[in-house]
Amino acid sequence: CEPLRGHTGRVNAIAFSAGGTRIVSGSNDKTVQIRDLEGDMPATITCKGHVEDAVSVAFSPDETLIVSGSYNGVVLLWDVTTGAQCGVPLVGHRRGTAQSLAFSPDGGRIVSGYGDGMICIWDTKSGEQIGKALEGHTHWVQAVAFSQDGSLIASGSDDNTVRLWNASSGKQIGEPL
């Protein structure tokens, strides 16, 4: 098996598409690369637009979009087919690295976890932040995920906690785990 080459810097994040036919990677070379594993599109599409290292990536459930986060907190959306940037950068919260990202099951929202312990929820189409940043973690938010029905968000942090959040209200549910 040959390695997939293309980045010129350290690879920080990687994700499979839901169907398993594509992968996306983010790198210290400030690019995001989409690779087709079946040959139905160009072997590699390179997305350029980050001005800092790309440290997090995720596919939308319908495999039409990719979201990527960078060291300076900017979150960008990309068209999977062309590699073109979609919409406006998601920059409502820029005080920390956009360390972790996830799409809601319907693809309508994105959750982003930051190096300063904050969590933001975004509307995928408008690029607007939904509500205020979720506060509770005291250190880097290394992982975020939506529940299968999209009603909950789970977050994990360097503060050694897992927290559950109501995805609609942004309120923390219960005590940290």
109 close to 119: Cβ distance less than 8 angstroms? no
Q: CA 119 from chain center: how many Å?
A: 12
- The answer to whether residue 89 scores a pLDDT higher than 70 is yes
According to the model, what pLDDT value does residue 4 have? 62
According to the model, what pLDDT value does residue 177 have? 84
Q: Which of 31, 20, 131, 130 lies closest to 85, judged by CA?
A: 31
Q: What's the pLDDT tens digit per position in 31-76?
A: 999 998 886 655 789 999 999 999 999 999 999 999 999 999 999 9
Q: Which of 37, 15, 16, 36 lies closest to 26, judged by CA?
A: 15
Average pLDDT value for residue range 131-158: 96
Range in 18-27, 37-46, 109-118 with the lowest mean pLDDT: 37-46
CA 171-172-174 angle, 5° bins: 135
Q: Which of 98, 3, 111 lies closest to 52, judged by CA?
A: 98
According to the model, what pLDDT value does residue 37 have? 87
According to the model, what pLDDT value does residue 2 have? 54
- As a whole number, the mean pLDDT across the chain is 93
Average pLDDT value for residue range 140-155: 97
96: pLDDT confidence band, cut at 50, 70 and 90?
confident
- The answer to whether residue 1 scores a pLDDT higher than 80 is no
- Record the tokens describing residue 111, joined without a space: 């959750």
According to the model, what pLDDT value does residue 43 have? 77
